[in-house]
């Protein structure tokens, strides 16, 4: 495992036990959704371009999956100078799979050009893995997180680095949360009160992403 992956894997280990000790919640419960006014949420085109989705062979999820028997959690990792990665957890009555994709990227005249996939694999998840993932995701309070992260509130969105776009979608609904440079955290004392209250959930969401990354077996040094 590369040094960068060791860093984020350590982050995951530091938080996984206290997270799993809490009571799980249904991520699509009406109570959770009502906590945040999502009417002002920006749509996915503001975070993920058509070119990236086309290269990854992925649909937009703003209107949901379009299928009553399909729920999806997708994490898209966008990096300034490196190929985009996507981790897609597909949940159906017939089973659960983790799909991992990476599209080749090159720079032509200062513009990013995306090519075919060089990673495209599907991993059948065991019952134990699915149980762990659902318990972990249930602790994230995804629906309680507004789209703007604490880093953006601090003006950190202008810094270079990676952007991790988290999406969760059922048949006719979806929620998107975006985080810039997820390995960088401000001390709680420097954050606005609202951001202090959701810092734990943001850290847990990153840990969930690292869990998927680890299950996928992708050893990519350019995570940041």
At 149-183, the pLDDT tens digits run 655 666 655 455 688 899 999 999 999 988 876 66
Closest alpha carbon to 206 in 173, 175, 184, 174? 184
Q: pTM of the full predicted structure?
A: 0.79
Q: Label residues 93-130 b or e (16+ Cβ within 10 Å = b).
A: eeebbbbbbbbebeeeeeebebeebeeeeebebeeeeb
Is 71 part of any domain? yes
Distance CA 166, CA 13 (A): 20
Q: Answer yes or no: are the C-beta atoms of 191 and 158 closer than 8 Å.
A: no
CA distance 91 to 109: 41
> Can you list the alpha helix ranges (DSSP code H) found in the chain?
3-20, 30-34, 50-56, 127-138, 150-153, 193-216
Residue 166 lies in a domain: yes
For residue 186, being part of any structural domain is answered with yes
Q: Would you say residue 221 lies in a domain?
A: no
**Strand-strand pairing, 162-169 and 111-124:** unpaired
Token pair 């379009």 is at which residue?
66
In a domain, 224, yes or no: no
**Nearest by Cα to 224 from 177, 163, 176:** 163
Compute the distance between CA of residue 140 and CA of residue 137 in angstroms, rounded to an integer: 5
Which residues lie across from 99 on neighbouring strands? 88, 122
Provide the pLDDT for residue 207.
82
Residue 222 lies inside a defined structural domain of this protein: no
**pLDDT at res. 203:** 78
CA distances from 194 to 37, 51, 82, 140, 198 (A): 14, 34, 33, 16, 7
Looking at the domain assignment, is residue 208 inside a domain? yes
Q: Which regions in the chain score pLDDT beneath 50?
A: 1-6, 9-34, 158, 223-224
Q: Which two tokens stand for residue 149?
A: 């992260």
Whole-number pLDDT of residue 220: 59
pLDDT at 68 (0 to 100): 95
Q: Distance between terminal CA atoms of the chain?
A: 15
Establish if 49 belongs to a structural domain.
Answer: yes
Tell me phi and psi for residue 179, to 5 degrees.
-135, 130
Q: How many domains does the chain have?
A: 1
Helix ranges restricted to H, 30-82: 30-34, 50-56
The domain in which residue 97 lies consists of 3-216
């Amino acid at each position: 495992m590369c040094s960068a992956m060791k860093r984020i894997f350590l982050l995951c280990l530091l938080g996984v036990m206290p997270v799993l000790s809490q009571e799980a919640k249904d991520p699509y419960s009406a109570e959770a959704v009502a906590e945040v006014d999502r009417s002002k949420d920006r749509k996915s085109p503001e975070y993920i371009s058509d070119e990236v989705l086309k290269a990854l062979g992925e649909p937009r999820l703003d209107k949901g999956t379009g299928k009553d028997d399909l729920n999806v959690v997708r994490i898209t990792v966008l990096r300034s100078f490196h190929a985009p990665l996507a981790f897609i957890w597909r949940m159906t009555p017939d089973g659960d799979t983790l799909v991992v994709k990476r599209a080749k990227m090159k720079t032509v005249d200062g513009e990013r050009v995306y090519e075919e996939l060089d990673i495209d694999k599907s991993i059948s998840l065991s019952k134990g893995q699915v149980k762990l993932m659902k318990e972990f995701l249930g602790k994230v309070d995804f629906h309680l997180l507004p789209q703007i992260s604490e880093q953006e509130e601090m003006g950190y969105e202008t810094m270079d680095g990676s952007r991790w776009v988290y999406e969760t979608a059922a048949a006719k609904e979806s929620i998107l949360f975006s985080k810039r440079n997820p390995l960088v955290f401000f001390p709680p004392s420097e954050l606005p009160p609202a951001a202090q209250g959701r810092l734990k959930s943001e850290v847990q969401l990153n840990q969930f992403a690292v869990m998927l990354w680890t299950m996928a077996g992708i050893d990519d040094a350019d995570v940041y």
